[in-house]
Amino acid sequence: MKRFKCLFAAVLLLFCLACAGWVGAVAEDGASGAAGTAPDVSLSPSAGVFSYAAEAGVLVRLISTSYDIRDDEGDPVQRVRFDLAGSGSELTMRVFNPSSNPQRFRVAFLTAEGRWESGYVQAASGANELGFSASAVDGFSGTLAAVEVLYSAFEYSGNSLIFGQMTYSGGDVAWAAENAGWQCIENPIVEAEAFFADEGTLLSRGVQAGVWYPVTFATQQDMSAYEGFSYYIDTSLGDRQVFFNKYVQERARPGETGFGEEWYLPDDGVAYYHPDGGIPFRGAANTVPAYFRGRVYCSFSAFRMPEWMTYPGNGVLDLDDTSGLIGLTFDGGLGDVRFILKDFRLETTVEEIEYEGLRQGDLRYLDDMSTYASTETVAFGWRTNWSLASPCAVTLIENEWTTSGAAGNALRIVPQTAPENPAPDPATGQTAPTNYTALEFFPVEGSADIAGSQGITFFLRNEESEPLLFGFEFDILQNGVRQRWGVKPRGRYILYDTLRGTQKLYNAPERSLYIPAGFTGWVRVDFGQFENPSWETVGGAFTTETGLAYFVINIDTLQYTGHSFVFDSLAVYTSDAGISTPFHTANTTLDQAIGGNGT
Amino acid sequence: MKKRWIAALCALTLALTLGLAGCKTDEAPFTPKPVDGVPLAFDDGISYYAYAPAAVVDGERMYLYYTSNRTAEQNDPSIALRVGKRTADGWSFGDRSIVLEASASGWDAGGVTDADVVKGAFSYQGTQYSWLMVYQGRADRAENNHQIGAALANAPDGPWVKLGEPVLTYDDAETGYAWGVGQPTLLSYDRAGKVYLSYTRGETLFTGQFLAELDFSDASAVTGADAAFMLPETGLQDGGSGTVLFNNVGLAARGANWYAVRDFNPVASAAPSVATAVQVAHIDPADIYTADGSWTVDEERLNFLDLAAEDNNGWERVYSASIVKDAYGQAYGNGITVAASVTSYDPTTREYLYYQGIILHELPV
């Protein structure tokens, strides 16, 4: 509820802004689609104007969404600053002038020694690609630390200029700050795509906990011919998932008071993720996984009016309302997030994606690894987020030890030594690295449905000639808060070696599972064999009714650095299948349970 | 006449040979073991240790197998046997005999210990046998890399024919140089060739009690060893705050339950560092195949308080016990009779090796 209150305030602000000027800007640039033919329409001013393609010879390519700089009636010069890292003097910038008339602005170059302003730069109507050279400015000296864009609100009251996609020849660029008089309707994070080429140092913007950062798109058109919208997002610049609320704001209709109804995509709703070069998958409506690059599709049919919404209205999402305002608001409380957001557009079709292989036998998969198309895309689901944790090399491989219930992709995991100079833990400030991996998995839909299940299972292969102590923990939700569970000392678990044909029960030596050398098969642990770690403060008895929100693999890297094991088919199971031995046959055998009937 | 003289000479020679041989065996005068509790079941004297008993009652006889040194005051562990007869006062045991010794070379050349025996029907190299012994062996004198072997006989007192190779192996290249597998205990599954064999496995990463379901019907090709799994530990109790250490177990069946006697851990911190008590618990055998199987404790600690006599304070070390059972592994008698190792020790040197003896104690379970 707290989130919604913050969001509500943001929405009010944005609505005012949208009515004040942004609406007009979009209307002027002619990017709106014709309702009659209902083409896919780009609503972001940057979309359709700026491309995302990499350019040869560019050291660092800055991708930003756009800034709308508007008149605040009190400050004739609006200003936005971009911090620069590296050494160079050449900049390029794409500027979109939505007005039919030329507009001008200035650029200021900042060094440690001083500030030099360029003369006026003319931006023609429409798209402009402009270059700037600090060294060409009389008297310029020193190392360029920042660049500011200055725009006369007095001169162009009611207009706007949109700046984006800045490239700096000398290094990286990061959006830094704007003066207090400005209002940014779009308030993006700016980062460098060159991160992927290991060029330069990634600059980041620290976001403030508890603050909601809005990004709003004014449609100003009849959306009734559209099934939903999509946007392109790149979260691979950082190591954190990004939480977005999504809403549609209606204008108040005759007889309605206030601002009109707001419709939200619920947190437990679904969005459809189309990763670049990857296999589309269904995921959480409002939580974009870290390391995701691609397009996210949301359907209007999934929007709901929150229970707390008190605006009088007709209770119907009126997509024909030409005052439509679609907002994405991300949560600064998640810490230092980095992402690129662009190319927002309406979609005439939003294709639903079902998660194939969700259930098989008594297995309900949390991740069968089938959605990963390459090693790079594994990071959509599995990654080491904690800076102090020992890293591990994760590669996508084919599960060549196929058995019933396990096929296709698998992860080969090789723990590495602890990091030498890790970034501080954001919560504690600690910098001492740990000798444990923390390979984490977040269910794509936020929390996975495990209702009625008996325990947790996965496919594992110990590729070494000595045993492995394999640690893992998971979180369930207790009143929306994550609560940690780990295997209790001497907790009992099943090892079904499908290669050797043996089914065994073991007792966990401590809080880790003992995996014999060469073991290849299924591990099953009843939920009754788990307990809360001593540090857990979230109370409440174990339940499967609230969902599993997190899973983490912990391996001692002092002991197992360089050791290799294969992990696959994380699932929960729903039967009480037991082991069968030479003298004993379970009522429900593991073969029956895992092979299943495919239902 | 000549034949008579020759016969008399031969008899004299034989007598001298036997006599000398006897003198050599008994060159150390018999000195009884010190007793710090209830009386020992028998006394081999302070030149021979006796521990790790396995008592099988067949007909009117109790066959009490135990670990003992073959040679006086030499630590050359072997399997000894005393056969007991039921008397009004309990069991009266006959002389000690060595029924299984270390091999001259190979995996059990370092000593054989901790035997258990069950009756059944076993075939080996074309011969039928009716008794199976399992035992713990090691290749050298180091207390590591133990493995479990088997031997067959047609009578409980032997002679025993060893199988050439261990039936449960320990590979230190795979699981580290550690204690290994040992302390086996047997129950018959079908009164024929199939047996439950429970044993302790001690690796570098853990120690636990396992169960193997083995088929000795054709003892030259024993099956089932690769499917051994761990027994539950829930419900068992140990001293201290650590997790339960389940090891050194003797099993017997009684009705619908299995009973176990086990070392109560942790062991004594001062030498001799063996357990100070044993615990008796039972479980429904169906539960050993489940994740939530649990033991019910019948006797938390059988210790010096239970094993004191009028003139002493009771045995301070009680360990390595078994349950007296019939030929197929059913608990013998109305209660649970525990055969336990006990020992006194020299208070100065803490030496105890040859003081170890065996007591029988019935619990009214």
CATH code of the domain containing A446: 2.60.120.430
Predicted confidence band at B27 (pLDDT cuts at 50, 70, 90)?
low
CB A488 within 8 A of CB A530: yes
The answer as to whether A410 is a domain residue is: yes
pLDDT of B23 above 50: no
Predicted confidence band at A208 (pLDDT cuts at 50, 70, 90)?
very low
Predicted confidence band at B67 (pLDDT cuts at 50, 70, 90)?
very high
Residues contacting A354, CB < 8 A, separation 6+: A282
pLDDT at A311: 64
Q: Rounded to whole angstroms, how far apart are CA atoms A448 and A442?
A: 9
Minimum distance, in Å, between the CA of residue B120 and any CA atom of chain A: 16
CA atoms within 13 A on the CB side of A416: 14
pLDDT of B133 above 80: yes
Q: How far is CA B149 from the centre of its chain?
A: 13
Predicted confidence band at A581 (pLDDT cuts at 50, 70, 90)?
very high
Mean pLDDT is lowest, of A210-224, A431-445, B30-44, B181-195, for A210-224
Q: Which residue in A has a C-alpha nearest to residue B285's C-alpha?
A: A584
Same structural domain, A254 and A113: no
Short-list A543, A514, A368, A521, CA closest to A441: A368
The answer as to whether B67 is a domain residue is: yes
Q: Rounded to whole angstroms, how far apart are CA atoms B276 and A595?
A: 49
Same structural domain, A141 and A276: no
Helical spans, DSSP H, in A90-168 = none
The answer as to whether A53 is a domain residue is: no
The mean pLDDT of A473-502, rounded to a whole number, is 93
Q: Which residue in A has a C-alpha nearest to residue B228's C-alpha?
A: A504
* pTM as predicted: 0.68
10 Å CB burial of residue A119 (0-12, 13-18, 19+) is: exposed
Structural domain including B207 reads 32-363
Short-list B240, B204, B113, CA closest to A517: B204
Partner residue facing B206 (CB), from A493, A514, A582:
A514
The answer as to whether B9 is a domain residue is: no
Find out whether the peptide bond into A188 is cis, omega within 30 degrees of 0.
no
The mean pLDDT of A224-242, rounded to a whole number, is 75
Same structural domain, A164 and A225: no
pLDDT of B219 above 80: yes
Q: Rounded to whole angstroms, how far apart are CA atoms A29 and A26?
A: 5
Interface test with A, best of B205, B216, B238 (most A CBs within 10 A): B205
Residue finishing a domain among A354, A375, A392? A354
pLDDT in tens, A241-283: 677 777 777 766 666 555 567 788 887 678 898 887 767 777 7
The answer as to whether B24 is a domain residue is: no
Average pLDDT in chain A? 71
The answer as to whether B8 is a domain residue is: no
Predicted confidence band at B229 (pLDDT cuts at 50, 70, 90)?
very high
pLDDT at A37: 28
pLDDT in tens, A89-114: 888 776 766 667 888 888 888 888 88
pLDDT in tens, A516-527: 999 999 999 999
Count: domains in chain B: 1
Interface test with A, best of B290, B292, B294, B295 (most A CBs within 10 A): B290
Q: How far is CA B221 from the centre of its chain?
A: 25
The answer as to whether B304 is a domain residue is: yes
pLDDT of A136 above 60: yes
pLDDT at A267: 72
Minimum distance, in Å, between the CA of residue A146 and any CA atom of chain B: 57
Per DSSP, A422 falls in state P
Which pair of tokens denotes residue B139?
């290749």
CB A526 within 8 A of CB A486: no
Which pair of tokens denotes residue A449?
């449905």
pLDDT at A237: 59
The answer as to whether A57 is a domain residue is: no
Predicted confidence band at A429 (pLDDT cuts at 50, 70, 90)?
confident
Partner residue facing B291 (CB), from A516, A517, A529:
A529
pLDDT of B299 above 90: yes
Q: Are strands B325-326 and B51-58 parallel, antiparallel or unpaired?
A: parallel
Same structural domain, A100 and A232: no
Amino acid at A522: W
Mean pLDDT is lowest, of A284-298, B199-213, B292-306, B339-353, for A284-298
pLDDT in tens, A541-568: 999 998 899 999 999 999 999 999 999 9
Q: Rounded to whole angstroms, how far apart are CA atoms A404 and A592?
A: 10
The mean pLDDT of B54-62, rounded to a whole number, is 97
Strand partners, B92: B85
Q: Rounded to whole angstroms, how far apart are CA atoms B59 and B44?
A: 25
Q: Rounded to whole angstroms, how far apart are CA atoms B360 and B306?
A: 12
State the residue for tokens 């800045």: A166
Partner residue facing A504 (CB), from B189, B205, B227:
B227
The answer as to whether A199 is a domain residue is: no
The CATH number of the domain holding residue A303 is: 2.60.120
pLDDT at A321: 66
pLDDT of A188 above 70: no
Same structural domain, A92 and A141: yes
Mean pLDDT is lowest, of A200-204, A235-239, B339-343, for A200-204
Cβ-Cβ contacts under 8 Å, A581 against chain B: 213, 224, 227, 229, 289
pLDDT at A401: 82
CB A110 within 8 A of CB A148: yes
Amino acid at A210: G
pLDDT at B45: 96
The answer as to whether B117 is a domain residue is: yes
Cβ-Cβ contacts under 8 Å, A531 against chain B: none
Same structural domain, A43 and A92: no
- Would you call B226 and A502 a contact, using CB atoms and an 8 Å cutoff? yes
The answer as to whether A191 is a domain residue is: no
Count: domains in chain A: 3
CB A131 within 8 A of CB A118: no
Q: Rounded to whole angstroms, how far apart are CA atoms A501 and B181?
A: 22
- The answer, for B221 touching chain A at a CB cutoff of 8 Å, is no
Chain A residues within 8 A (CB-CB) of chain B? 455, 465-467, 469, 489-490, 492-494, 500, 502-507, 509-510, 514, 516-517, 525-526, 528-529, 578-579, 581-584, 586
Residue finishing a domain among A132, A153, A185? A185
State the residue for tokens 């060029």: A199
The mean pLDDT of A319-340, rounded to a whole number, is 59
Which pair of tokens denotes residue B296?
């019910």
pLDDT at A27: 21
With a pLDDT cut of 90, the percent of chain A lying above it is: 25
pLDDT of B209 above 50: yes
Q: What are phi and psi of A454, to 5 degrees?
A: -100, -25
Q: Are strands A530-531 and A382-384 parallel, antiparallel or unpaired?
A: unpaired
Q: Rounded to whole angstroms, how far apart are CA atoms B57 and B53?
A: 13
Same structural domain, A303 and A412: no
The mean pLDDT of A197-208, rounded to a whole number, is 28
The answer as to whether A394 is a domain residue is: yes
Q: Rounded to whole angstroms, how far apart are CA atoms A369 and A367?
A: 5
CA atoms within 13 A on the CB side of B49: 24
10 Å CB burial of residue A300 (0-12, 13-18, 19+) is: buried
Which pair of tokens denotes residue B247?
């090891």
The answer as to whether B3 is a domain residue is: no
Minimum distance, in Å, between the CA of residue B153 and any CA atom of chain A: 25
pLDDT of A65 above 70: no
The answer as to whether B131 is a domain residue is: yes
Q: ipTM, 2 decimals?
A: 0.89
The total of other beta-carbon atoms located within 10 Å of residue A559's CB is: 14
Same structural domain, A235 and A341: yes
- Would you call A502 and B289 a contact, using CB atoms and an 8 Å cutoff? no
CB B272 within 8 A of CB B350: yes
Q: Which residue in B has a C-alpha nearest to residue A465's C-alpha?
A: B174
pLDDT in tens, B93-114: 999 999 999 999 999 999 999 9
Cβ-Cβ contacts under 8 Å, B174 against chain A: 465-467, 517
The CATH number of the domain holding residue B213 is: 2.115.10.20
Minimum distance, in Å, between the CA of residue B119 and any CA atom of chain A: 18
Q: CA end-to-end span of chain A, whole Å?
A: 38
Partner residue facing A492 (CB), from B176, B196, B291:
B291
- Would you call B229 and A500 a contact, using CB atoms and an 8 Å cutoff? no
Minimum distance, in Å, between the CA of residue A513 and any CA atom of chain B: 11
Same structural domain, A181 and A225: no
Predicted confidence band at A305 (pLDDT cuts at 50, 70, 90)?
confident
The answer as to whether A62 is a domain residue is: no
Q: Rounded to whole angstroms, how far apart are CA atoms A415 and B171?
A: 25
Q: Rounded to whole angstroms, how far apart are CA atoms A302 and A272?
A: 12
Find out whether the peptide bond into B32 is cis, omega within 30 degrees of 0.
no
The Cα angle at residue A226 between residues A224 and A227, in degrees rounded to 5: 115
The total of other beta-carbon atoms located within 10 Å of residue B53's CB is: 28
CB A82 within 8 A of CB A146: yes
- Strand boundaries in A498-573, DSSP class E: 502-507, 513-515, 520-526, 530-531, 548-554, 565-573
Residues contacting B10, CB < 8 A, separation 6+: none
Partner residue facing B243 (CB), from A469, A490, A502:
A490
The answer as to whether A56 is a domain residue is: no
Q: Rounded to whole angstroms, how far apart are CA atoms B119 and B327?
A: 5
C-alpha pair distances (Å), A40 with each of A171, A349, A439, B259: 36, 9, 39, 75
Choice between A93 and B21, residue whose per-residue pLDDT is larger: A93
Structural domain including A376 reads 359-595
Minimum distance, in Å, between the CA of residue A525 and any CA atom of chain B: 8
H-helix or E-strand spanning residue B80 = strand B77-87
Partner residue facing A465 (CB), from B174, B228, B244:
B174
The Cα angle at residue A411 between residues A406 and A417, in degrees rounded to 5: 150
Residue finishing a domain among A298, A322, A354? A354
Cβ-Cβ contacts under 8 Å, B289 against chain A: 505, 578-579, 581, 584, 586
Choice between B210 and A293, residue whose per-residue pLDDT is larger: B210
pLDDT in tens, A153-185: 556 655 666 665 567 776 666 544 443 223 332
Q: Rounded to whole angstroms, how far apart are CA atoms A97 and A27?
A: 13
With a pLDDT cut of 70, the percent of chain B lying above it is: 92
